[in-house]
Chains A and B, each alone.
Chain A
Amino acid sequence: MNKLISLISGIIFGIGLVISQMINPEKVLGFLDLFGNWDPSLAFVMIGALIITSPMFHLIKKKEKPLFVDSFNYSKNKEINNKLIIGSVLFGAGWGLGGLCPGPAISSIALLNINSISFVVSMFFGFYLVKLFKLSS
């Protein structure tokens, strides 16, 4: 059953990206163009997501275990170090250049756009390099 949940969560997430239009890089670049023609929509996407996740996380964490698996399994890393900052700077630069972050980039494979597929292939190469050289924070 947990396999089905993984698929369903992905589908719902993908639908959210389409409805919020975050699948469109122009919308994301509009948000980052704060000092030009600014489109504040992305901030509302985050607010919409957080008003659901933050109270629900709080309630779910009180449960002994999740419904379909034996234990909760998520990062409790609290370390604020150079890798956190350097990684975020590199990500921010790539995000600002392309207007794509991992979720929308992968979702947009569905649109068979050669540019976004190339972005995804290159992104996966980046994931692989971090694993290969053990750079992860």
Chain B
Amino acid sequence: MNIVNFTPVTATLGGMIIGLAVVIFFLFNGRLVGISSIAANALTEKENKFDNLLFLLGLIIGPIIFSLFVNKDISITISNSFILLIFAGLLVGLGTRISGGCTSGHGISGIGRFSLRSIIATITFMIVGVLTVLIKNFI
């Protein structure tokens, strides 16, 4: 193992900002943030539809506002092929709804309230994620 590209300060700061968003949503609206739930329910459920859509809109315009504010473009690297991403997206869509949460719902909101169910889910998807990358690097 080599440690590379490690950015502990911005990672912790960004994480705290994410935590703040989750706390605000809970304090004012009484709901715990789980992006997969919010997104799936925005698509399929009538309850809280407008709230869910507004949250998703915020998620999309947040980076734009930030990038205008700091006057810097956001660059991301996606090295995977189109077909692989379509397949990965399907797995993420199915998996997060079957298990009832993703990195935010289980990983932050669930672990934040010490839910054993969420701790088990998070450990499981992290181990499988690590194994998937390990196997992908071998092929």
Tell me the A residues contacting B by CB distance below 8 Å.
1-3, 5-27, 29-30, 32-42, 44-54, 56-57, 60-61, 65-69, 71-75, 77-80, 83-103, 105-111, 113-116, 118-131, 135-137
Which residues of chain B have C-beta atoms less than 8 A from A111's C-beta?
63, 74, 76
Enumerate the 3 nearest inter-chain pairs by beta-carbon distance, A residue then B residue, closest first: A126-B93, A10-B58, A14-B62
Q: How many Cβ-Cβ contacts under 8 Å join chain A to chain B?
A: 502
Give bound CA distance, A86 to B115, whole Å.
18
Q: Can you list 10 pairs linking A and B with CB atoms under 8 Å apart?
A: A12-B24, A15-B65, A34-B133, A87-B121, A91-B91, A92-B126, A96-B129, A96-B133, A98-B85, A98-B88
Shortest Cβ gap from B45 to chain A (Å): 9
Within B15-29, the residues touching A (CB, 8 Å) are: 15-29
Separation of A53 and B18 alpha carbons in the complex (Å): 9
Q: By DSSP majority rule, is chain A's interface helix, strand, loop, or mixed?
A: helix
Query: Chain B contact residues (Cβ within 8 angstroms of A): what range?
Result: 35 or more
Least CB separation from B97: chain A residue: A130
Q: Which residue of B lies closest to A34 (CB)?
A: B130
The smallest beta-carbon distance between A66 and chain B, in angstroms, is: 3
Of A13, A36, A39, A68, which one neighbours B29 at CB under 8 angstroms? A68
